[in-house]
Amino acid sequence: MTHRTRALIGGMCAFLFAIPAVAAPADLLIRGGVVYTGSDPPFAGDVAVTGDHISAVGRHLRVKARRVVDARGMIVAPGFIDPHTHVGDDLASDDARRRLVPAFLMQGVTTAFIGNDGGGAIDVKAVLDGAKKRPVGINYATYTGFGTIREAVIGMDDRAPTPDELARMKAMAGNAMCQGALGLSTGLFYAPQSFSKTDEVVALASEAAKRGGYYDSHIRDESSYTVGLKAAVDEAIAIGREARLPIHISHIKALGVDVQGDAPDIIARIDKARGQGIDITASQYPWSASGTSLVASLIPLWAQDGGRAVLLRRFDDPSIQSRLRAGMVENLRKRGGAGALLIVEGPYKNRRLDDIARSIGKDPVDAAIAVIRIGDPATVSFNQSEADIAAFMRQPWVMTDSDASTGHPRVYGSFARKYAKYAVADHVITVRQFIESSSSRTADWFHLAGRGHLRAGAFADIVVFDPRKYAARATYEQPTLFAAGVRTVLVNGRIAVDQGRLTGIAAGRALPRTPAPGSCS
C-alpha cells in the first residue's frame, strides 16, 4: 500500500466518522444520560435518532437535532422486550387506547411476544397484518399455539391424535410458521394440551424446527401436580433434543410447597443440557405469586376433561364426590392453603379463599366449588420462595417476562419491580443485568434483528427512566396502577411516552419471523 492510498483511506475514515456530526440534523438527541447499550458498561453519553433508527451513540455527540431530550440524571436503555405475555387481545382491540398497551409503555416495554401458553393463532398472517390496519403501541411477534391447533383438530378430548389428525396438526403448525410465526408455544399444564404425550409435541415442534422457529413452553408441571417440576423440565429438554430446536421455558418457577427449594436442581439440569449443546433458555416474572384461575389452581385435571359444562355436572355427581374433593384438598395443600389464594375478579374480587369460606360458612373446598359454579375467576396464588426467585434470576440464560394477564400486578409492574426490588433494593442482580436480561439478551437469543441494543443502525426503541423513581406501583389489591419513573419511551423512533405521559402515538410494528430459506416452498 502506498503512502498516498494509506492517507486516502485514513482521510476517508475520518470523513466517514465525521458524518454524524456534520450531516443533516438528527430528529432527536437524548443528551447526557447514563447510557446502557445492552452490551457495554454504562457511560455518560448521548443517543441520536433519525427516522426510525438510532443514528449515533457516544459520549459527546456533536449532533444537531430538531429536538433534545435532557436525560441528565436518567438511565437511557434499549426498550424492554417481554417474551411471554397475554396482550394479544389488547393489540387486536377495537379500542385504540387499549392497542397502545399503556401498561407496557409506561414501564418502557416496547416489544412483546404473544400467542404463548399454546394459545397462539393458527392464522398467524391475520395476527401479524393487524398492526397495518389498526396501529398498535408496541412491537410484537407471535407464536402459533399447540393448544389452539390441538383443540381445532381433536377438541377437548383426552386421547392421542389419529395419524390423520396428527398430519393435519403438523400441517397447521408448518403453515403458521410460513406465515411468520416465531415458533410453537405450548401450555402443557392446561387441558387439552395436558392430554398430549411428548412424542405428539415433538412432532409439531419439528415443524417449527424445520423452519428455524423456537419452542416456547409453559411446562407440563411447575409443581407436583402430575409428572412434577423436574420431569417437566426434563421433557422440555428432551423436546429440544429430539425436535432439534431452541427451547424456552416461560415464567420459570418452583410452584408450591412440595417443590420450593428445587431451583438449584432445576438450574443444574438446564446447565447440563446447555453443556450438551441443547440451546435452552428461560424467562421469569419477579413475583412470588402466580396468576391462574380458580379451576386451574384447584380442580384435578381429570375433572377438567370435557370442559366447563362437564365439570359443573361432576360437582353434582355423587359417585365421584370423594375423589373430586380429595383431589381439591390435595391441590389446596400444594398451593399453600386457602389463605394463599386471592380471587381477583367477579363477586369475590380481592378476597382470599379462607375469608370467602368463613363468610359463607363452608369449608374451603365447598367455598371454591360455590365460586366456580358462578364462574372461573382469575386467581393469584402465593406459592414461590424468594430464594428460588433469586436463584433463577441470577442465571445468564434467564430473561425478564411478565406473563401479563388481567388480575395480577405483573401486567403493570413486572419490569419496574424487577429493577426496583431485585436490582436496587435487594441487590440480587445489578442494574446492568436487569437491563440486559430485559432487552439485549432476549433480542439476541430470539434473533430480533435490530432490536434490544442502543447502537447506530438499530431501531430506535428506547426507554429513559429516573433511576431513583422507576418502580412498580401496582399491587395485588390494586393491580392496574402505572409504574413510576419512566420519562421518555421511543418506539421505532417515535415518542410514545413524553415527560412521563402517553402521547397516544402508536408506532409499534408486527415482527414476522422469516422462515428458514427453502422451508416454505
Closest CA to 112 of 387, 461, 476, 373: 461
Piece in contact with Zn ion (CB under 5 A), picked from 114-122, 176-184, 206-214, 256-264: 114-122
Piece in contact with Zn ion (CB under 5 A), picked from 117-125, 161-169, 275-283, 466-474: 117-125
Cα pseudo-dihedral 161, 164, 168, 173, rounded to 10: 60
Piece in contact with Zn ion (CB under 5 A), picked from 2-10, 110-118, 145-153, 479-487: 110-118
Report the residue number, 104 or 459, with the smaller CB distance to Zn ion: 104
Report the residue number, 85 or 492, with the smaller CB distance to Zn ion: 85
Minimum CB separation of residue 340 from Zn ion in Å reads 19
Minimum CB separation of residue 25 from Zn ion in Å reads 46
Residue entry with cell 366449588: 369
Minimum CB separation of residue 418 from Zn ion in Å reads 18
Minimum CB separation of residue 403 from Zn ion in Å reads 6
Report the residue number, 218 or 253, with the smaller CB distance to Zn ion: 218
Piece in contact with Zn ion (CB under 5 A), picked from 116-124, 298-306, 361-369, 423-431: 116-124
117 binds Zn ion (CB under 5 A): yes
Closest CA to 25 of 60, 67, 54, 58: 67
Residue entry with cell 398430519: 167
Q: How far is the C-alpha of 239 from the C-alpha of 199, rounded, in Å?
A: 8
Q: How far is the C-alpha of 217 from the C-alpha of 184, rounded, in Å?
A: 8
Minimum CB separation of residue 190 from Zn ion in Å reads 8
Minimum CB separation of residue 392 from Zn ion in Å reads 15
Minimum CB separation of residue 499 from Zn ion in Å reads 35
Does 364 sit behind a cis peptide bond, omega within 30 degrees of 0 on the bond before it? no
Count of residues engaged in binding Zn ion, rule: CB under 5 A = 2
Amino acid letter at 266? Answer: I
User: Which conformational region is residue 177 in: left (phi greater than 0), alpha (psi within -120 to 50 degrees), or beta?
Assistant: alpha
Report the residue number, 219 or 506, with the smaller CB distance to Zn ion: 219
Of all helices (H) and strands (E), which one includes residue 470? Answer: none
Piece in contact with Zn ion (CB under 5 A), picked from 72-80, 115-123, 129-137, 145-153: 115-123
Minimum CB separation of residue 58 from Zn ion in Å reads 41
Report the residue number, 82 or 117, with the smaller CB distance to Zn ion: 117
Query: Which residues between 408 and 447 bind Zn ion (CB under 5 A)?
Result: none
494 binds Zn ion (CB under 5 A): no
Report the residue number, 160 or 227, with the smaller CB distance to Zn ion: 227
Which residue from 211, 218, 335, 352 is in contact with Zn ion, where contact means CB under 5 A? Answer: 218
Piece in contact with Zn ion (CB under 5 A), picked from 140-148, 175-183, 210-218, 283-291: 210-218
C-alpha cell recorded at residue 250: 416461560
Minimum CB separation of residue 87 from Zn ion in Å reads 13
Report the residue number, 38 or 183, with the smaller CB distance to Zn ion: 183
Q: Is the alpha carbon torsion for 175, 180, 182, 185 positive or negative?
A: negative
Q: How far is the C-alpha of 75 from the C-alpha of 54, rounded, in Å?
A: 17
Q: In what order do the strands lie in the sheet with 351-352?
A: 289-293, 378-382, 341-343, 351-352
Minimum CB separation of residue 292 from Zn ion in Å reads 9
Report the residue number, 409 or 485, with the smaller CB distance to Zn ion: 409
- 344 CB neighbour count, 10 Å cutoff: 20
Q: How far is the C-alpha of 73 from the C-alpha of 109, rounded, in Å?
A: 20
Piece in contact with Zn ion (CB under 5 A), picked from 126-134, 211-219, 432-440, 477-485: 211-219
Of all helices (H) and strands (E), which one includes residue 387? Answer: helix 386-393
**Interacting residues of 205 by C-beta distance below 8 A, sequence separation 6+:** 184, 215, 239, 243, 245
How far does CA 178 lie from the centroid of its chain? 22
Of all helices (H) and strands (E), which one includes residue 133? Answer: helix 124-133
Report the residue number, 218 or 314, with the smaller CB distance to Zn ion: 218
401 binds Zn ion (CB under 5 A): no
Q: How far is the C-alpha of 314 from the C-alpha of 272, rounded, in Å?
A: 44
Minimum CB separation of residue 263 from Zn ion in Å reads 18
Report the residue number, 210 or 410, with the smaller CB distance to Zn ion: 410
Residue entry with cell 405475555: 85
Contact positions vs Zn ion (CB under 5 A) = 117, 218
